[in-house]
Amino acid sequence: MKRDVIIACDFASAEATYAFLDRFTEEKPFVKIGMELYYAEGPTIVREIRRRGHSVFLDLKLHDIPNTVEKAMRVLSRLDVQMVNLHAAGTKAMMESALRGLTREDGTRPILLAVTQLTSTSEERMHDELLISGSIADCVCHYAAMAKEAGLDGVVCSPLEAGMVKERCGQSFLTVTPGIRFADGNNGDQVRITTPARAKAIGSDFIVVGRPITAAADPVAAYRTCVSDFC
């Protein structure tokens, strides 16, 4: 898969999502469906967005005991999506089970990514609240290495960490990076952030962009700026 911009469609309903996607008359952006939309609309929204011709990253960030995650992934494997994910913090055993569950009988499966540390988590909170010592970079690289050992295809991390992950896990190990903001933008709740151009320079394979596109006065123009800066 080549470098691409994924739009985080964090909308509350199918109507709001379709109204947003209908604005794109010339391109079919790669779309991320997260918890809000999936919990509101269920698998129907995934099928409809696929039917409209978009690639889909189903961002449900599974994290439970290995047996439960394996069975949940088996259900998700019936959806024709391009990417799904889970939390690396669920352990290597959970990631291995997830991979088993996600692999269809014919051997095909969506790309499976592990979330390392959310881009809204600061190093201070990781130390004080999660009781993980060391740097965020060390934690992200360690989780990425575990994900690779478990057989996953890549990680979700900050664009600032994409270079380190590639160094540790190899160039073909995917880095999918939220925490993208335009230089003049509002950071919202995101902490470990950078611009589309800088994310490209550091080595992200995919950037995930939500509010800088969805809340822009002209979302199509904002998307095109991301594509021209990143792709």
Cβ of residue 224: shortest distance to ligand C5P, in angstroms? 16
Cβ of residue 192: shortest distance to ligand C5P, in angstroms? 9
Annotation marks residue 61 as catalytic: yes
Distance CA 183, CA 144 (A): 28
Cβ of residue 117: shortest distance to ligand C5P, in angstroms? 7
By C-beta, is 178 or 219 nearer to ligand C5P?
A: 178
SS3 assignment, position 78: coil
By C-beta, is 33 or 102 nearer to ligand C5P?
A: 33
Secondary structure (H, E, C), 84-136? EEEEHHHCHHHHHHHHHHHCCCCCCCCEEEEECCCCCCCHHHHHHCCCCCCCH
Distance CA 35, CA 61 (A): 8
By C-beta, is 77 or 117 nearer to ligand C5P?
A: 117
Minimal CB distance to ligand C5P: which residue? 210
> Where along the sequence are the contacts to ligand C5P (CB under 6 A)?
8, 10, 34, 59, 115, 118-119, 156, 178-180, 188, 190, 208-212
Enumerate the active-site residues: 61
